[in-house]
Structure 1
Amino acid sequence: MATIKDVAALAGVSVSTVSRVINASGYVDSKTGERVLAAVEALDYRPSRIARTLVTRRSGTIGLILPDITNPFFPEVARGAEDEAYRHGYNLILCNSDWKLEKETLYLGILRQQCVEGVILVSTKLTEERLTEECRSLPPLVVIDRTITLDIHSISSNNVGGAALATKHLLVQGYRRIAHIAGPASSISARQRLEGYHRTMAEAGLPVDPALVVEGDYRLGGGKKAMARLLALTEPPEAVFCANDMMAVGALEQLQESDRCAPADMAVVGYDGIDLTRYVHPRLTTVIQPTYQMGERAVQLLLETIKGNESFQHIELEPRLAIGDSSVRRDGP
């Protein structure tokens, strides 16, 4: 494999001249530059990314830490980020934290060592105090899917408003005993969706039976277990709003295994708008988040910061309700 010294020898110039040509980091007359580039092509020279990073202080790489790559919500975030990074000549390093604090911290350290130019973080575990500590040694950072008060870019959707859309839809259908399968208490988005549910029920003048709020884990299995608990109640709910689509799919599966169906026996509404719901029967009513745009906008914010823009932004995108067959009364409200 050819080295920079081989290129310099073939072109008849110094190593520093080759470096200036390759990195466009200083003046080199046109004839010398052409001679260097011809030598690069002749030797099929490939500069070391690590060496180039040390010289230019630019790696052309962005890190993305997600909690669960098996949840279809997060690959859509990654796709938006990767597409936007590619458009600007950047690569993306993907890390899966498994909802674990120790893995989030580990990957932040690894990305720091890799000299990434920016980090996009979807975190449910790191406190704001811990994020403040991490930011002292991190490149520009954007946090996705949580509201934050620090001087850090953040992007989220209106979780309280989205939960209100779901709950109001069930109320309009005539359901009154409405349950909520919540996300993990450690998740800010889950707490906000729980708040939206409680607030909407209160505005309708309906008390919430504590037994109707069951904590899940944002996974399909968690939705099944939560639905089993609701079905075991002396007075099961008429409808259930699930804090994400994965749990909603699990809830529908548990209904079917219990020889019941939606919406005849219980209406079901999800949250996220993942592609998986297109293949579920009945078609799931869900709150669609602008997931792709979250990843796309995160990269845009990082690039603005890398270019020197120090004005931090906290962006909240609006979700929308998509009505399927899992929640609409066939006989009308």
Structure 2
Amino acid sequence: MMKMTDVAKLANVSPATVSRVLSHPELVSKETKKKVMDVINQVNYKPNAVARQFRTKETKIILVVVPDITSAFFSEVLRGIEHVAVSSGYQVILGDTENSIEREAEYINLLFQKQADGMILLTARLDKAKLEELSQEYPLVLACEYMDGLNVPTVSIDNVSSARNATEHLIQLGHTRIAHITGPINIVLSRDRLRGYKQAMISHELDIDSAYIQEGDQTFESGYNQMLKLLALETPPSAVFVFNDDMAMGVIKACKDSQLHVPEDIAVVGFDHIKMSSIHEPNLTTVDQPKYEIGKKAMDLLLKQINGEPMAKKKIVLKDQLIIGESCGSKSLKVLGSS
């Protein structure tokens, strides 16, 4: 295997000069840098990453912890993270917790072991105190969700407000019997979107029927199964606000299998605006999160921490948008007004 000393001999320079060319090229003359790089390219020399880590105490690796790698939502967030990371000389390692707090803790241990320079959590099951303690010791960003009072750099939308707006859209269409299928209630996102749903119902003096609130697990199948429960009620809802688009498409499938039409019989609103939501028939009315931008901003905040740069803002709340599709019947106000 080619060593740095071998490169130095071929380029007729010292090993220290080769090291400077690789780590601090601005300190080396153009002629020397060209001579060394010509040899490196000719012999295809690859610096020893482990040795570099010992010298610099850096890994140039970022760990991104995802709750569910099968979720279409996270792919665009990850792309935003990756683009900023790569352009800054970092590699991204992905950890899928499969919604397990134990798995999340295992990935966090990689920070303790110095196997990554920083971490982005795309949702967190840890409590506030543990997150803040971790953030005081290591570069850390929480993305996609917001915790009140949490002193950790965060990038998200206002999930309470966006859920309230989605529910109010159904109310404005004339619905009064509005159900909500939540995500797992032990995660912040689910509780925030449930809170927004309840705020909209209360502000319009509409009853919140506990039977109209069903807990899903974020999957298509759970949306399907929870919707069948709602349809089995003596007085089923006329509209459903769903935690995410995957479950919303399961809801529509359950309606169709029950010989009901969307939106004529049941109006459906999802959340996230994944690509499939605009292809699905009927295409979904859904809340669009700036997924790519969330990823970029999260990586920017992490880099500032790693480089010891001041952060003008530790909490970034990005703007979301309600995308009006066909699933809630916005173009059929007279029909929906009778519900």
Change (3 A) 1:193 1:150: closer
Q: 1:305 to 1:288 in 2, by over 3 A?
A: same
Q: TM-score, normalised by structure 1?
A: 0.92
Count of aligned pairs between the two proteins: 332
Once the two structures are TM-superposed, the CA of residue 64 in structure 1 deviates from its matched residue by: 1.1
Q: Match for residue 119 of structure 1?
A: 119
Give the alignment of 1:138-287 within 5 angstroms.
Answer: 138=138, 140-148=139-147, 149-287=149-287
Secondary structure of the residue aligned to 2:116 is: coil
1:63 aligns with 2:32: no
Q: Per-residue deviation at 1:306?
A: 2.3
Secondary structure of the structure 1 residue equivalent to 2:175: coil
Q: What RMSD over aligned residues (CA atoms) do the two structures have, in Å?
A: 2.2
Q: Distance in 2 between matches of 1:44 and 1:292?
A: 35
Q: Secondary structure at the match of 1:326?
A: coil
How far residue 112 of structure 1 moved from its aligned partner, in angstroms, is 5.1
Q: Which AA in structure 1 matches 2:146?
A: T
Within the alignment, does 1:2 sit opposite 2:2 as a pair?
yes
Distance 2:120 2:2 in 1: 36
Q: CA deviation at 1:147?
A: 1.8
After TM superposition, give the deviation of residue 130 of structure 1 in Å. 2.1
Distance 1:41 1:147 in 2: 47
- Specify whether residues 3 and 127 from structure 1 end up closer, same or farther in structure 2 by C-alpha distance, changes over 3 A only: same
Deviations 1:234-254 (A, max 9, x none): 110011100111111111111
Q: 1:143 to 1:125 in 2, by over 3 A?
A: same
Q: Please list every run of 5 or more consecutive structure 2 residues that lacks an aligned counterpart in the other structure.
A: none
8 A Cα contact 1:104 1:123, kept in partner? no
- The runs of 5 or more residues in structure 1 that have no matched partner are none
Read off the aligned partner of 2:216 and give its amino acid letter.
G
After TM superposition, give the deviation of residue 27 of structure 1 in Å.
Answer: 5.9
Normalization by structure 2: what TM-score?
0.90
Residue 137 of structure 1: how far off its partner (Å): 4.6
Question: Per the alignment, do residues 56 and 286 of structure 1 end up closer, same or farther by CA in structure 2, a change over 3 Å counting?
Answer: same
CA contact (8 A) 1:248 1:269 kept: yes
Q: Which moved more, 1:320-329 or 1:82-91?
A: 82-91
- CA 1:284 to 1:41, structure 2 compared with 1: closer, same or farther past 3 Å? closer
CA offset digits 1:71-97 (Å, max 9, x no partner)? 111111101111222333332212211
TM-superposed CA distance for 1:278, in Å, is: 1.6
Q: CA deviation at 1:26?
A: 9.5
Tell me the alpha carbon deviations over residues 43-88 of structure 1, each in whole angstroms, 9 at most, x when there is no partner.
Answer: 3211122222322333333221111121111111101111222333
Whether the aligned pair in 1 keeps the contact of 2:159 and 2:192 (CA below 8 Å) is: yes
